[in-house]
Structure 1
Amino acid sequence: MTDWTKEKTVEYITIQKHLHTKEKLGEYYDEWAPNYDQAVSSMGYIGPSITSNLLQKYVNSKNALIFDVASGTGLVGEVLANSGYSNIDAVDGSAASIDVARKKNIYNNLYVQWLGGDNKLNINNDRYDAIVCAGAFAYNHLKSDVFPELIRVTKPGGYILITMRTRWLRIEATFSDGKLEADMKKHEKERKWKLVEKKVKEEEDSEQNVVTFVHQVC
């Protein structure tokens, strides 16, 4: 196994900005999947724990049906399972990452699919009590065009939690200058969801600051 130091992981992550197609991004994560958990651990990745803590604030029932979107190898799902949630599904565009997640035996249903644009999930309306999505809004990853589909599969009154680095709100072109939050507000004006909390976790290295948006579906 490769020794994934923080420096090596940061270097590898910079490749993402050059991966402009889902095919290339999929190949990138398929190759990385066997070592992904070790790599992000070297960086002290806290997205899963932040997401779990906020989910527990809004969803009390540990039997609630949770959808882990852009689940990767299942790091968020592991934390949720350790927190007592027992009814979790997952979707990710990387088949190899889903294979790693499947072996952890924490998900009920796992889907290999890219989200965004015209891509629709083969899932009924109003299915989930909550959606969690950690670390997937970044260079060449998820964009705001996934919001309608996330809203569609979430029950009225359910929650959608999106956790991301604050740096992407500055440097990712489709998010910067308030674009991402403007798209969120557009759906709020249309009464599709409402923002109930925006929480920022500040780190010593400001480039590692994390923000979570919690919306409740109308």
Structure 2
Amino acid sequence: MADWTKEHILAHILTLKDRSTPEKVEQFFDDLAPNYDKIVVTAGYFGPSVTSTLLQKYVTSKEARLMDIASGTGLVGECLANSGYTNIDAVDGSALSIEEARKKNVYTNLYVQWLGGDNKLNIENDTYDAIVCTGAFAFNQLKSDVFPDLIRVTKPGGYILINMRTQWLELEASYAEGKLEGDMVKLENDGKWKLVEKHDHEADDSALNLVTFIHKVC
């Protein structure tokens, strides 16, 4: 697995489409966890660095309390820590990924939990200054039903940054034809949050193009 080519890795990620239950998705990431960081480098994925760069535009205090949703092995947390942030929590559905993240020593608290549906964060309301979520909106992963819970645990005036590969907006059925962005707009119309930036990031390989949605919680 560690010797896979970029093409092999991107093709393997597409097999998430066949992982129709949280348990199957969890197993997918458990299997990748020991080699995940090397795989990401090989694939040329740059989402964690983009997340860190954009967050610094909106959250200037390095002591701000942050939550890394679907943290995986901690690549985003590592970028945030390298940018000076010191108070970062993490949650992910893959126990083995969380153990890899723990080794990086960049998180204050780490939680193993699958999010979505009836699965809510066991976190008090208005806890975080900002939430980041990088790479977790894809085949059979997070859906728009997590948005209200993310808003709930974010302080009024705080930020929620969602970074994803642009192609999932077309390939994942629950996001396609404007569904995901439509659900974001519904929450904005309900006065829950406000879109402050939609940022596109082009890669050399269009399959790795990214889009980032940054909302401010009302």
Q: Do both proteins adopt the same fold according to a TM-score greater than 0.5, normalized to the shorter chain?
A: yes
The 5 A counterparts of 1:1-218 are 2-218=2-218
**For the residues of structure 1 that align with 2:115 and 2:123, how far apart are their CA atoms?**
13
SS at match of 2:194: strand
Structure 1 residues 111-144: Cα deviation after superposition (integer angstroms, max 9, x where no partner): 0001011111111000000000000000000000
Unaligned 5+ runs, structure 1: none
Aligned-pair distance for 1:42? 0.3
TM-score under structure 1 normalisation? 0.98
CA apart distance, 1:14: 2.1
Q: Render the CA deviation track for 1:72-105: whole Å, top value 9, x for unaligned.
A: 0000000000000010000000000000000110
For structure 2, the 5+ residue unaligned runs are: none
C-alpha distance in structure 1 between counterparts of 2:192 and 2:119, whole Å: 19
Asked if the contact 2:2/2:38 (under 8 Å) is kept, the reply is: no
CA-CA distance at 1:12 after TM superposition = 1.9
Instruction: State the alpha-carbon separation in 1 of the partners of residues 39 and 214 from structure 2.
Output: 27
Q: What's the TM-score once normalised by structure 2's chain length?
A: 0.98
Runs (4 or more) in structure 1 with deviation over 4 Å come to none
Contact 1:4 1:38 in 2 (8 A): no
Instruction: Report the alpha carbon displacement of residue 182 of structure 1 after superposing the two structures with TM.
Output: 0.3
Distance 1:61 1:68 in 2: 16
**1:209 CA displacement:** 1.1
Offset of residue 8 of structure 1: 2.5
Q: Which amino acid aligns with 2:147?
A: F
C-alpha distance in structure 1 between counterparts of 2:105 and 2:202, whole Å: 33
Q: 2: CA distance between counterparts of 1:40 and 1:135?
A: 11
Aligned mates of 1:158, 1:14 — CA distance in 2? 33
